[in-house]
Amino acid sequence: MIEVEHLSKHFTLRAPTGGGGALRSFLSRERRVVRAVDDLSFRVGAGEIVGYLGPNGAGKSTTIKMLTGLLVPTSGDLRVDGVVPWRARRTYVARIGAVFGQRTTLWWDLPVIESLELLGHVYRVPPGRLRSNLREFGELLGLGEFLHTPVRALSLGQRMRADLCAALLHDPHLLFLDEPTIGLDVVAKERIREFVRRVNRERGTTVLLTTHDLADVQKLCRRVMIIDHGRLLYDGDLGALQDRFGGERRLVVDLAEAADVEVEGARVVERDGPRVTLAFRREDVSASDLIRRVTERHAVRDLSVLEPDIEGTVREIYEKNLLGA
């Protein structure tokens, strides 16, 4: 579906040369090159849902802009369905859909239904198909209650649902979701995820998801790509990512009476009265061995094991640039 090879996008900025400010930088020929995307290669198969992660400014949206045909790469190859996006813009964009959580793609002061019908004309969706898609998506997303409300009067959750429907009316092969759950409450997030999962399963729509909400990734994607400084840091299974970089597990012990806990393979990270938290690595010691070692030496009232969450894993990757080394 998506084939990307050695893709790069460099921007040239006029370098501010200190003192003299704007005029100097305007006159000077000094340039600074920003490598927003640098030698990126990956493939996405039809029907996949791939999470595309990275800290702010990592090059995510530059990649998306190239994939949607808005930006022309500096070098490298990019094909979607065999088409080079910016070469055949009109035919290409008819086959993709996009939802940008931060802004709506609907017309601000029109009722939702009018925006959707207009999009039907824009994408030349056959009337029968438009009707059946509207019915199906309307039901799944619960659009009925606000179909005749102007977009500007919708709540964020309603707007996002309307945007999702709008992005899928023309049966795109590929769907870009950029922060589709940003600012939503838990129930609304879950509803959107369920919908995306369903569209992917029933229609085989390929989905590329960029988000900072790792719960989205966890619930939707089997595969993740992590990008930083324009380079791909990781591309693979979400589970493997956690195994490899999952960091430490925790054992929380409630002792019968406060004491110093010292066990092989683990270290104390927190002490709060009789509660002691130990950190340990999967490869050093198993949870059951560690528990045995603790209970052999101390009287224990209660125990619990905490698995590292993906949030922590990704934070560690961003902060320490674990994969770049």
Binding region for another protein (CB under 8 A) = 9, 11, 36, 62, 65, 68-72, 86, 89-91, 93-94, 96, 98, 100, 103, 105, 107, 109-110, 114, 117-118, 121-124
Q: How far is the CB of 154 from another protein (least distance, A)?
A: 17
Q: How far is the CB of 165 from another protein (least distance, A)?
A: 16
Report the first-to-last Cα separation within the chain, whole angstroms: 30
Return the DSSP state at 302. Answer: E
For residues 79 and 41, the answer to whether their CB atoms sit within 8 Å is no
For residues 37 and 61, the answer to whether their CB atoms sit within 8 Å is no
Q: How far is the CB of 250 from another protein (least distance, A)?
A: 43
> Which is closer to another protein, CB of 42 or CB of 123?
123
For residues 175 and 98, the answer to whether their CB atoms sit within 8 Å is yes
Conformational region of residue 222, where left means phi above 0, alpha means psi within -120 to 50, and beta covers everything else = alpha
Q: How far is the CB of 124 from another protein (least distance, A)?
A: 5
> Which is closer to another protein, CB of 178 or CB of 235?
178
Return the DSSP state at 308. Answer: P
Nearest to 180 by CA among 288, 64, 87, 281: 64
| Distance (Å) of CA 64 to CA 52, 79, 108, 210, 266 | 10, 13, 24, 9, 43
Say how many C-beta atoms besides its own lie within 10 A of residue 268's C-beta.
14
> Which is closer to another protein, CB of 72 or CB of 258?
72
> Which is closer to another protein, CB of 36 or CB of 209?
36
> Which is closer to another protein, CB of 169 or CB of 238?
169
Q: How far is the CB of 68 from another protein (least distance, A)?
A: 6
Q: How far is the CB of 218 from another protein (least distance, A)?
A: 29
> Which is closer to another protein, CB of 35 or CB of 282?
35
